[in-house]
Amino acid sequence: MKIGVTKFPGTNNEQDVLRALSSFGIEGVLIYEKDTDKLKDLNALIIAGGFSFGDYLRPGIIAAKTAIMQELPKFVEQGNFVIGICNGFQILCETGILPGVLTTNRSTKFVSRWVYVKINKSNSVLLRNSENKIWRIPIAHFDGNYYATNEQIAELKKKNQIALQYSDEEGVISENSNPNGSMDNIAGITNKEGNVLGLMPHPERASFSYLGSEDGRTIFQNLIEELK
């Protein structure tokens, strides 16, 4: 099993994702922007979070134009798993692989906070057995305010693509539990086929008991089991 983890100039979460994977005994492979030839050997790609290209111009846009990301649609079509975390989610939206955009937080400030998210029934096997669970997980972003057209939102709902929503501790989804202004409290979505998952919260930061939560491990665990 080979899981790639992207490292663009400026990416700063790749080591954290590698650490989470290695706690399952999996050594992830760092994938740089020019490594298009390495894609064919991978079973899954995790687009790690953290300021690719400094978020200059706008988050994710420069990474979306790199050689490796130009090859990504093909990799996805082949049915491989792709997970985009935080900046990775922004990149996936910028490439058009996932619908919608992530705009500046309603507060116009960076927000770093522990939040709760409710896991919906979705088409992603990466969230298998987690339906209706409430996770405690950190967010850290300036641009996490999910926006899509009404048609796109309707389509996402129809196909069970709204995978995670910001909620309170009891799973109640309301404006009070929305940290950034996202439409419908959307924290993460999947593509139609369910093999691509993009989310703003950081599962790798909720993967060890000493960090205060292990809820995020589910995603990595499901991925690894799926690839076995």
Q: Which residues are the active-site residues?
A: 86, 202, 204
Angle at which helices 14-22 and 217-227 cross, to 10°: 60
φ and ψ at residue 190, rounded to 5 degrees: -120, 170
- Residue span 96-125 as binding mask against another protein, x where in contact by CB under 8 A, dash where not: -------------xxxxx------------
φ and ψ at residue 55, rounded to 5 degrees: 60, 15
> Please, which residue, 99 or 203, has the CB nearer to another protein?
203
Q: Within the chain, how many helices (H) and strands (E) appear?
A: 7, 11
- For residue 202, state whether it binds another protein (rule: CB under 8 A): yes
- For residue 72, state whether it binds another protein (rule: CB under 8 A): no
Q: Confirm if 206 and 137 have CB atoms less than 8 A apart.
A: yes
Among 100, 138, 144, 194, interactor with another protein by CB under 8 A: 138
Q: How far is the CB of 10 from another protein (least distance, A)?
A: 5
Q: Is 81 helix (H, G, I), strand (E, B) or coil?
A: strand
Give the span between the Cα atoms of 93 and 145, in whole angstroms: 12
Among 22, 54, 157, 193, interactor with another protein by CB under 8 A: 54
Binding site for another protein (CB under 8 A): 9-10, 12-13, 15-16, 19-20, 50-51, 53-56, 109-113, 138, 140, 142, 202, 204-205, 207-208, 210-212
